[in-house]
Chain A
């Protein structure tokens, strides 16, 4: 797996995120166990697996929402590589609102439903010290445009938006501060297929345009096929297969991956 990542991103010399032997258990139950991988700048990593396979646990540990029992999560900050598990909470939360972004599966978890769309997008700007109303508003409108929300809706609350719009708003809110690493937990879950397709198209454009690195957790193989450069397949808290997305999906080696690939419904 490590070999593959090196061949893929030979251009990017240093990994943005290095995960080493990450383990998290819930009492006697394993959340995820002994997981190691690297993410290079500009790379999109997909994590797939069935429900309960530990994908979301892994993502929460990476994003600092949960503390892993063991292992290191080394992020290349502006001031050099730092283990985010060991760093203080203040610093980790600062990372979470500057260099990182987290897109929740349910936009209601990631948005402030009582605050207008503009305020939602502006919150991250204000959190890092923006104090010019006009500037914040212009940037919010610009980002609404980028995620294909009409500028006239800038003062509407997210509760007046459709599910797809809410998800796009959440993405705008997360990307407005130009993070370097985006965590996405089932970004297309709960949306109908045509909206999913548009959202994926949009995400793919933004990720490529901004040169973002992303870690996308999903159980939808189509999503990773479209977005991810590399793929990890998880089962029972362990990574059972990893490699380039097309390679894993077209030539699955592990029996669970084979099952997963063959289970996709064809229309």
Chain B
């Protein structure tokens, strides 16, 4: 009986309908920030309340959920959100990017190429890319409406004037389908090229700011730049010390207070699957010996 008294995936049906409508509108107008009546979630703002609501509205009982935080499956934020959906929706969870149908992410796009049918849900702290240049919400809405995006380049200009290059390294502004300028959430600009032409549906949820926006599959997304300072995705000039990958985005890990450090893939699933396939980095041991040691 009590089973019937609760909704699948935490949200009540009216809320789900409202969020799904916002998502559909967002998909119909790529890059446009759709306002929605964000609900209180059983977690603090900044922990992914927007992403959780979007995920909950998209989940079906057959879905397989993956949650990552900065690329990792095993950090507090990722573990607690995954547990939350196991408890409230009872869906299957996975750490393998390829097996997941819905991936909720904070600040990264997985290294593995996403495929058709997958949904990538971003947690967004501040959806308005113009916020720190123009604090008035009425004015930024007007700027979006009238496509007045010169101001976005002022930020990039300031970067070059100060640092000699575009120093914005995350939350790098993009233009979606030649229309709306969008904040891709604080993903490193290394991930920006993956936004464009992806086969997966990308949804962005900002809980505190009450905005949802979307990049539908195969949408053209361009990172803003100057003719003489073109956009360049950047990563640490190093290979992963565990799996020897040269192409993945790396985290720098301080290992002691003597200046010791190592670079490891920020995408833990990518790194683990490479190690399982036998790749060994400069500071890594083969996975088989590690298993044996346990």
Which A residues form the contact surface with B (CB < 8 A)?
Answer: 89-90, 93, 97, 112, 115-116, 118-119, 122-124, 126-129, 131-134, 136-137, 154-155
Contact = CB atoms under 8 A, between A and B. Distances in A.
Given A115-B158, A155-B161, A133 B150 contact: no
B158 A134 contact: no
A134 B228 contact: yes
A137 B154 CA distance: 11
A62 B4 CA distance: 64
B168 to A, nearest CB: 14
A52 to B, nearest CB: 28
A64 B228 CA distance: 35
B162 A112 contact: no
A122 B228 contact: no
B160 interface: yes
Interface in B154-209: 154, 157-158, 160-162
24 contacts: A89-B142, A89-B146, A93-B148, A97-B150, A112-B154, A115-B133, A115-B154, A115-B158, A116-B158, A116-B161, A116-B162, A118-B161, A119-B154, A123-B151, A124-B150, A126-B157, A127-B148, A127-B150, A128-B150, A131-B153, A136-B157, A137-B157, A137-B161, A155-B162
Nearest to A129: B150
A89 B157 CA distance: 27
B229 interface: yes
Q: How large is the interface on B (under 10, 10 to 19, 20 to 34, 35 or more residues)?
A: 10 to 19
B227 interface: yes
A249 B150 CA distance: 43
A72 to B, nearest CB: 23
A123, A124, A126, A134 pick with most chain B CB within 10 angstroms: A126
Nearest to A90: B146
B146 A133 contact: no
B131 to A, nearest CB: 12
Shortest Cβ-Cβ A-B pairs, 6 listed = A127-B150, A126-B150, A133-B226, A126-B153, A132-B227, A90-B146
